Structure 1
């Protein structure tokens, strides 16, 4: 229901409900686990109550707005759902970009693990250890950046649908600024605390503390890089441009990755043959992984900026691409279905 509500431009309400639900969850976790000694069951009950509150708040929103005739949603329409197989194609096409992004991250991680664990110059006892300790930190903060995109995308889509392109540009720029400021603050914090707080939290062995801290500082640069690319997902997904969404989702972990990483492997192998220094060579591979993220982010940021500021306002005058034909077909079928259900 949160996606439906946000699509109508009420992001703040959804955000407030989510924050309140999480605070309730945390408070009840402490109550059930610490005070009542319920263990794992207490955590489960707290989560169920927190998200029940969230769902109930959404239902209240729909009921109140429906009575005031300020929403297209209704409780009846949520439960009286008619499956239309003709909508499956457009829905899967619009969601393919998200699938490719997630699958691509998994693919790149597998390749990197193979390189640092099974190559001629591998030092898995160190670099695979560093990877296992450092990546969860990056993933933790990247989720927040993608959350910024998730919240801004519905606002972008709302204004795109109304053809308020100036507002789309403002959403694009503000999202970029917020994501960049967030990533800078996070990186400074992570880099400054890498050799004390994080190695303590991650329970790092004393002989690997320095290497783990260095790895965390290097791999966390991806947080800065991703903050630059988040706008491409915002723009292309927000405008329902399937073609560009698929391209941007696949660029870092497939297109750019299969060029940068083999080249870096060749350079690393040459350095290894010349110097025999395995440690430097492994740092080259890790650095190349971060460089690939930065390179693809800068390219996609430029591409999305051109799309929003040059292409978007002329979107209705340009020839329909195959992805926009899917979009138009989707809305035509949805409108026809609504007309069939409307009593006269």
Structure 2
């Protein structure tokens, strides 16, 4: 089985040595030149109303271009032993499972993630990741740390009950249930038994009324990454309050079936640079912070971004 253990080195050392570090402008320029030359279709010719022209691809925001060395690795190493990733009964299944699990370890290493962090393969790029994030948050009814009261000293109410033993198996210390994988623990977190025990440990929130969320969107992001958030404004309408910003996208209604109100605000661009206007971002965050402080004093609506 190919498991990227060519030199019998420590796994972390192998990951670090595989990174391409750009320490200066010359190295970065060399890397850009390599990526440009290795792009499939970089010299592609197309027919236009003005004659034959060399293709200039300008839609990187929506879809990136394929690289030869990535496609060659998939063709030469992945596809010959490609199989399912939910069993170890065959050689192809074991190899595909190794590839997937080790890819997960490499990504978590670079993100400094631990066994308590979940790394989810969305399968559909950034758009799929956004939709997965929105789906998870909707299932949790948008319960964010900003809405939770701080626990008393020495009382940890976070769901950090996952324990890993030296054999690689897991246990929920809250429910004393043993599990084989992190995925099984994430599924167990949503079970009625786990949630009931969490509710018994968690101190009662003094505020259980309306919770307001302001989603700040990148003005340069592809619209497919923004649409899931904009669609939320139809589901979580403003029934009792007005949006924070006048240019926000929000739905106003006389009644709502949820205690969550969401507005989507697209940040401004700097006319001189064409990039994000950082001053506008700071002003919006300061306004939200000041509203949070006032609401905390009055014990009224809570905000989160």
TM-score calculated relative to the size of structure 2: 0.25
Higher RCO (CA < 8 A, seq sep 6+): 1
Q: Which has the higher strand share?
A: 2
Q: Which has the higher helix share?
A: 1
TM-score calculated relative to the size of structure 1: 0.23
